[in-house]
Structure 1
Amino acid sequence: MNTTELKETLMTYSGNDFQMDESNNISELTTAMLREIGNVDPKLRDELIYSSFCQMILQDFYSIEELKAILGTCLDDKHLLYRVGKAGDDSVFTRSFSTLIIAVILHVNLQKNFLTIDDIDEVYESLLKYLDQEQDVRGLVPEKGWAHSIAHVADALDELVKQPNLLNEKLESVFTAILNKMAFNKDHYHYDEDERMVIPVVAMLERGLSESMVCEKIAATGNDIKQNFSTGGQSYFIYRANVKQYLSSLYFHLEAKEQNVEVRTSIKQAIKEINQPYYQM
């Protein structure tokens, strides 16, 4: 199935209220969708492939073995890790939209529990590797639509940290990876990546993530920013702005839920430390 045939098939599928024609070969269609998951045509990639995958997965088009095969493909070096580390090229669309399919499969696993501890560990390792290495944090790309890699991986992480087969001891590593990425110093986050990345942290705190550990890491980050104020260049101020934005979003999310007072107090103190140089002017 070529790209034109794929688009026509999915347009018919979506136009028919996501009722699949029995004549369609689901295996062939899925292979084509995975191949074109990062297509730069936003209608094909976002409106058709992503939306169709969601419907097909949620409506039980796939067997358990087929879901696991799709997950394995999404995690491989031609999808989640495809050209990871590159910034500014079209490869980000493949990586970013692969994370969304991973998120949907993890969501279904919460109801069906078909992924083993080893499967979940593989997803955990792959997502943290991807989060660490992703350098393209563009949001809305002119003419090509949403890349939004950090927001999309946040969705996958949110589903990951809810998995019963993910050991609680691994939550600290997930939080550390998130905080490190939100302290990105090469580009600003402009499209609510901070709000999206707060959600998995709130889920982890509700699951039992150590508040004292979170507070320690927030304090250390705030102190690092404060100490380097006088010598900071452009990358420092990008880093500073991204961290302040993220901590503020986390604070108000927790305040809205009226929970985790200790974490909220640590955030307030960290932001005061970060802004201290200005209070003395």
Structure 2
Amino acid sequence: ILDLDIDLASIITPTKLTLEVSIANTQFANDWEFWVYPTQIATSNFSSIYDCNSLNDTALKILEGGGTVFLNLNGRVTKGKEIIQSFTPVFWNTSWFKMRPPHTLGFVVNPMHPAFKTFPTEYHSNFQWWSLVNKAQVMHLEDFPAALRPLVQPIDTWFINRRLASVFEVRIGKGKLLVSSLNLGKVNSKDHEPSSDALVARQLYHSLHQYMLTEKFQPAFQVDPQLIKDLSEKPSKEIFDPFTKDAPDELKKTLPVNKQ
């Protein structure tokens, strides 16, 4: 057993590191990835961003006037509620196991997107996303423009291949909207911080909001406000639900045929 005591206080920016342990004069080694986030984040003025949990009248008024809104739908999604996400992927396949959850296969993300400037990531899921993604709801974008690409896009089971999102951006009226269903904690629009003490959630929240203050926040697609409301008010148009706790048909013991 090895005890390591490494001072990370000098790391003041979010950083991905790799710890490697090897046996001298041999080829034997092992390594572990880990992420370091500052315990204190420089205070940013997010007062120009309206945080909300629903597309309420205030949010719509701000958007129509050309303002910026962050919509946190975590725990409030209806369109896509039937799609269960876990950090771990589908077990074997969802067809054989009658859509037993989870239903997703990780997600894709553009690591060079400015929204993740202060949240180091690869193009795929990794362990810094665990608390953000595990059991977080996904949004089913069945009625959105076909070319819209979410910032964080969960991969659906290959038997259905629905278009899903965990984070995406659009325009409404003259304004700009960023929507998230990740586990960012309960966002209070007054203090602009997640209630969760998790450094990961706080760091991603901060990174997204910093991005929303820049000129690079330019959503490409204009949508009707009702599309956003539908995410929390209407179910998916088609819900495939053959779920059972019974064993797959192929594993059931078959009775001998009585031939007469």
TM-score under structure 2 length normalisation: 0.23
TM-score (norm 1): 0.22
Point out the structure with the larger helix share. Answer: 1
Bigger Rg over Cα: 2
Which has more strand, going by share of residues?
Answer: 2
